[in-house]
């Protein structure tokens, strides 16, 4: 049953929750594609006789491509064709990436080139989320809808850590057996993901017939919504952008490098997998709680600063326990990292869309993701240069400490940026003023 919203020009549809579930599914799969092979990186190099830096460079390529794809390709697609066609394009590119990985049987570097298509696809799928939430949800629901969609990238990434389990035995000593298991893994992941993408796109709808809020309708109908120039001249937006980029960039780096970081201290691929699951599972809980709190209180600035400081303290705890070689403490800190770091998606994206209104959400959120990917690219590149094999054990452990220190420095800069952000909620003000006007007209 549909319910009427703010005045005669707005309406809330019950099926918005189904649309949200489909949106979350596609974002989650996008996250899983990049992390599905992370627990296998150690075995991967031995089976295919390549250095870890080669695999890291491929990961860097996927992240680095986000920036030009976002500012040129994605912005063009959203402006010219809208959310639905853009999502179809992103899904096709991800499917191409998956099937090129299957080609690893014939040629290693052909499979790795699939990362190029994933890099192009990322902003097409991720940037649609904030605009989707604005298209379907009321003012007091937008933070939750945006957060649930955004955090599914992290949740999907965490789930990706476990996808290899039914297919690959990491304890297998025979390289040929390991290679065959890996090939089987790439094939079935490509088949399953392709089928899910097709079904999801058949169900998905870009927006309802009537918008849920007047701000959603105004942005879609106005020619004077602004663009990148307006964003980068908005000091408040830049503060939120900086805080988000340093935390999100650190989160991406940790998700990518966790396997190598803990392996230096004797932890196994299985331990890495559990850390990934705890990181994303607890991140879901933390993000949900953060989104609910911000949705009720509208205290975006306090939420952002709390997440930044919590991330810093959690990373410090993780760094401190690595030397203990305690699996229990590793799992505990992995869970703590998830609770504190992943909620940046709940506190950052919707805040940025609020302070940058009436710039379209796909542009405002896209710039957030793009700059954070630049930060992540730099950090992962540094990590790739730091993590080298054939060193004494104590030197290899220092490699992890160096990378962890880099994460701590980035998180400290994120917390500092959050201090200067101001709570200028332009989109919410537009909705509340419109609601007040409708109420006054009804009264008279």
Tens-digit pLDDT profile for residues 421-440: 998 888 777 777 654 444 44
Which has more confidence, 187 or 55?
187
Least confident of 55-64, 282-291, 429-438: 429-438
Residue (of 350, 351, 317, 352) closest to 331 by Cα position: 317
- What is the rounded CA–CA span in Å between residue 328 and residue 37? 24
pLDDT of residue 98: 87
What is the structure's pLDDT at 274? 86
What is the tens place of the pLDDT at every residue in 327-378?
A: 889 899 989 998 999 889 888 888 998 898 888 888 888 888 888 888 988 8
**Residue 106 reports pLDDT greater than 50:** yes
Average predicted confidence (pLDDT) for the chain: 81
3-state secondary structure of 422: coil
Whether this model's pTM surpasses 0.85: no
Number of neighbouring beta carbons within 10 Å of residue 433: 12
- Tokens 């049953």: give the residue: 1
* pLDDT for res 271: 83
Judge contact between 106 and 179, C-beta under 8 A: no
What lies within 8 Å, CB to CB, of 338 at 6+ separation is 158, 278, 279, 280, 281, 282, 283, 284, 286
Least confident of 49-58, 156-165, 260-269: 49-58
Percent over 90 (pLDDT), the chain: 23
- pLDDT digits over 16-44, tens only? 999 999 999 999 998 888 777 766 666 66
In total, the chain counts a number of residues equal to: 444
What is residue 165's predicted lDDT score, i.e. its pLDDT? 81
For the residues 164-183, what does the mean pLDDT come to? 72
d(CA 139, CA 66): 29
Say which residue the tokens 């105004």 belong to: 218
């Amino acid at each position: 049953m549909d319910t009427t919203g703010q005045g005669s020009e707005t309406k809330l549809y019950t099926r918005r929750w189904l649309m949200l579930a489909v949106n979350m599914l596609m974002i989650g799969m996008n996250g899983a594609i990049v992390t599905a092979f992370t627990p296998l990186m150690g075995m991967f190099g031995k089976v295919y006789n390549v250095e870890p830096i080669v695999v890291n460079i491929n990961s860097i390529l996927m992240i680095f491509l986000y920036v030009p794809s976002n500012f040129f390709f994605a912005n063009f697609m959203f402006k010219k064709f809208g959310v639905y066609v853009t999502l179809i394009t992103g899904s096709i590119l991800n499917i191409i990436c998956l099937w090129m990985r299957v080609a690893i049987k014939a040629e290693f570097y052909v499979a790795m080139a699939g990362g190029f298509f994933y890099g192009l696809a990322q902003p097409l799928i991720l940037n649609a989320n904030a605009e989707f939430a604005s298209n379907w949800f009321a003012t007091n629901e937008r933070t939750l809808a945006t957060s649930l969609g955004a955090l599914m990238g992290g949740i999907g990434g965490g789930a990706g850590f476990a996808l290899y389990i039914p297919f690959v035995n990491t304890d297998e000593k025979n390289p040929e057996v390991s290679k065959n298991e890996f090939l089987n893994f790439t094939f079935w992941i490509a088949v399953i993901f392709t089928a899910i993408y097709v079904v999801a796109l058949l169900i998905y709808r870009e927006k309802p017939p009537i918008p849920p809020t007047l701000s959603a309708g105004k942005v879609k109908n106005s020619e004077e919504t602004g663009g990148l120039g307006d964003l980068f001249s908005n000091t408040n937006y830049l503060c939120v952008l900086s805080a988000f980029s340093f935390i999100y960039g650190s989160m991406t780096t940790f998700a990518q490098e966790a396997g190598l970081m803990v392996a230096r201290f004797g932890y196994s691929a299985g331990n890495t997998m559990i850390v990934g699951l705890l990181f994303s599972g607890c991140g879901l809980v933390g993000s949900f709680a953060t989104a609910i709190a911000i949705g009720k209180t509208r205290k975006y600035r306090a939420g952002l600063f709390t997440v930044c400081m919590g991330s810093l303290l959690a990373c410090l705890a993780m760094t401190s326990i690595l030397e203990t070689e305690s699996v229990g403490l590793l799992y505990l800190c992995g869970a703590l990292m998830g609770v504190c770091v992943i909620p940046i998606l709940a506190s950052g994206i919707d805040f940025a869309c609020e302070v940058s209104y009436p710039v379209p959400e796909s542009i405002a959120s896209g710039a957030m993701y793009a700059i954070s990917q630049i930060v992540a690219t730099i950090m992962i590149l540094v990590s790739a240069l730091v993590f080298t094999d054939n060193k004494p054990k104590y030197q290899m452990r220092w490699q992890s400490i160096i990378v962890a220190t880099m994460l701590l420095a980035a998180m400290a800069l994120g917390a500092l940026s959050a201090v200067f952000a101001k709570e200028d909620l332009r989109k919410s003000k537009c909705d509340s003023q419109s609601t007040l006007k409708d109420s006054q007209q009804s009264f008279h």
